[in-house]
Chain A
Amino acid sequence: MYKDKIVLVTGASRGVGLEITKHFLKHGATVIGLSRVESLFNHNHYYHFSVNIGDPESIVNCFKKEIGKHFKRIDIVINNAAVMTSQYSMIMPKKNAIDMVNVNLLGVFFVSREAAKLMRNKEPGRIINIGSMAVSLEPVGDSIYAACKAGINTLANIMAKEFSSYKVTCNTLSISAIDTDMLHQHSDIGQEKIKEIIKKIPIPRNALIDDILNVIDFFASDRSSYITAQTIYLGGIN
Chain B
Amino acid sequence: MEMLSGGEMIARALEDEGVEYIFGYPGGAVLHIYDALFKTSKIPHVLVRHEQAATHAADGYARATGKPGVVLVTSGPGATNAVTGIATAYMDSIPMVVLSGQVASHLIGEDAFQETDMVGISRPIVKHSFMVREPEEIPATIKKAFHIAASGRPGPVVIDIPKDATRPDAKFEYHYPDAVKIRSYAPAQRGHTGQIKKAARLLLSAKRPVIYAGGGVVQGEASGLLTELARELNYPVTNTLMGLGAYPGTDRQFLGMLGMHGLYEANMAMHHSDVILAVGARFDDRVTNTVSKFCPGAKIIHIDIDPTSISKTVNADIPIVGPVQSVLADLTEQVRQLRKKDTELPDPGALARWWQQIDEWRGDHGLWTGRRYGESDRIMPQQVIESLYRVTGGDAYITSDVGQHQMFAAQYYRFDQPRRWINSGGLGTMGFGLPAAMGAKLAFPDKEVACVTGEGSIQMNIQELSTCTQYKLPVKIINLRNNYLGMVKQWQDMQYEGRYAMSTYEDSLPDFTRLMEAYGHVGMQVTDLADLDTKMEEAFAMKDKLVFLDVFIDPMEHVYPMHVAPNGAMKDMWLSKNERT
Q: State whether these chains interact.
A: no
Which residue numbers of B lie inside 8 Å of A, CB to CB?
A: none
Which residue numbers of A lie inside 8 Å of B, CB to CB?
A: none
